[in-house]
Amino acid sequence: MSDPTAGLRREGANALDPAEFIKANMRLAPVPSLPEIRLYLAHPGSGLRRLLEPDDDAKGGAEPQPPYWAYAWAGGAVLARYILDRPSIIAGKRVLDLGAGSGLVGIAAAKAGAREVIAAEIDSNGAVALGLNAQANGVAIRIRNEDVTDGPPPAVDLVLAGDVFYAQDVGQRMMPFLDRCLAAGIDILVGDPGRAWLPRPRLCLLGEYQVPDVGGNGGDEPRPSAVFALVAEPG
Ligand SMILES: C[S@@+](CC[C@H](N)C(=O)[O-])C[C@H]1O[C@@H](n2cnc3c(N)ncnc32)[C@H](O)[C@@H]1O
């Protein structure tokens, strides 16, 4: 398989190579509740702060985004579990993993027989981790390291949104895009452990599981999490 991180490496003389950093400082391990999938996961000694852009802290005073991609989130884990247990939902379909983080949902979709998997993730280190994780699981995923929510609905049959309602501004960006996808005839599945910004009136419950949340080193208590279909606004 060709290098999945080619073209995603950050330029700059002093910058760390994210792919080398991830391989050296994270642990490739099965995801609790998803033993079929191995990911590069953070551990207490990973020192992920070293991976942030050297001048990130100085950019307009904005805090750099936390490395969400270094963990398996409960919303993604429940969605991945649901897909792996019901491959007929996915087999032969073109799928977008929206807010892919580590890529665990997209990897599950590929393992379940998706025809094509696209993973959209805005964090450039996340995009590198995603490529490494896809390679570690022997699946092909097309990575879009950009915010797709401004654009038109992609050419897919199904959007998988794992744990993307963790912040109000993120949820507010996602919903108009997801509505355009629904209007284009694309099905949408959401995985979530009941976070604050979940659009509950728009969701139809499909299944529930107990899955560990971020951290995932075996010590985290499982929490109830669910998979929903996003439905169009009535009227
Ligand atoms: C809580 S994490 C969940 C990651 C993964 N789906 C999981 O469940 O483990 C949410 C991810 O969405 C990404 N994200 C936020 N807004 C986004 C956008 N507009 N387009 C693509 N990714 C986005 C974040 O960078 C982050 O990695």
Identify the structural domains of the chain with CATH numbers, from first to last: 18-230 (3.40.50.150)
Whether 58 has a pLDDT exceeding 80, the answer reads no
> Which residue in this structure is represented by tokens 């919303």?
75
- Asked whether the predicted pLDDT for residue 36 surpasses 80, the reply is yes
Atom of ligand 1 nearest to the CA of 174: 19
Q: What ligand 1 atom has the least distance to the C-alpha of 79?
A: 8
Q: What is the pLDDT of residue 12?
A: 46
Pocket test for ligand 1, best of 164, 169, 177, 189 (most atoms within 8 A of CB): 164
Contact yes or no for 102/127 (Cβ under 8 A): no
> Cα–Cα distance between 54 and 49 in angstroms, integer?
10
Mean per-residue pLDDT, 100-114: 98
Percent of the chain with pLDDT over 90: 78
197 CA from centroid of ligand 1 (Å): 14
- Check pLDDT > 60 for residue 142: yes
pLDDT of residue 37: 98
**Ligand 1 near 213 CB (within 6 A):** no
192 CB contacts (<8 Å, ≥6 apart)?
Answer: 74, 75, 78, 163, 165, 198, 225, 226, 228
The pLDDT of residue 196: 92
- Mean pLDDT over 51-75 rounds to 75
69 pocket-lining for ligand 1 (C-beta < 6 Å): yes
Calculate mean pLDDT across residues 35-43. Answer: 96
Q: From the CB of 173, is ligand 1 less than 6 Å away?
A: yes
pTM to 2 decimal places: 0.91
Minimal-distance CA residue to ligand 1 atom 1: 163
Specify which residues 38 forms β-bridges with. Answer: 30
| Mean pLDDT for the stretch of residues 32-61 | 80
Q: What is the pLDDT of residue 9?
A: 47
Q: What is the pLDDT of residue 222?
A: 86
Pairing mode, strands 94-98 and 158-162: parallel
Q: How far is the CA of 100 from the centre of ligand 1 (A)?
A: 5
pLDDT (average), residues 94-120: 98
Least confident of 53-57, 105-109, 131-135: 53-57
pLDDT confidence of 1, banded at 50, 70, 90? very low
- C-beta separation of 45 from 77 below 8 A: no
Given a cut of 80, whether residue 62 has pLDDT beyond it is no
In this prediction, residue 223 has a pLDDT band, given cuts at 50, 70 and 90, of confident
pLDDT at 7 over 60: no
Q: What is the mean pLDDT of residues 41-61?
A: 74
Residue 105 CB less than 6 A away from ligand 1:
yes
Q: Which helix (H) or strand (E) holds 37?
A: strand 34-41
pLDDT of residue 8: 47
- With the most atoms of ligand 1 within 8 angstroms of its CB, the residue from 95, 122, 128, 209 to mutate is 122
Residue 5: predicted pLDDT: 47
Q: Whose CA is nearest to atom 15 of ligand 1?
A: 99
- Residues 51/16, Cβ–Cβ less than 8 Å: yes
Closest listed residue to residue 195, CA positions, set 218, 228, 159, 219? 228
Kindly tell me if the per-residue pLDDT of 48 is higher than 80.
Answer: yes
Q: Is 101 in the pocket of ligand 1 (CB under 6 A)?
A: yes
Nearest CA, atom 20, ligand 1: 147
Q: Does residue 126 contact residue 7 with C-beta atoms inside 8 Å?
A: no
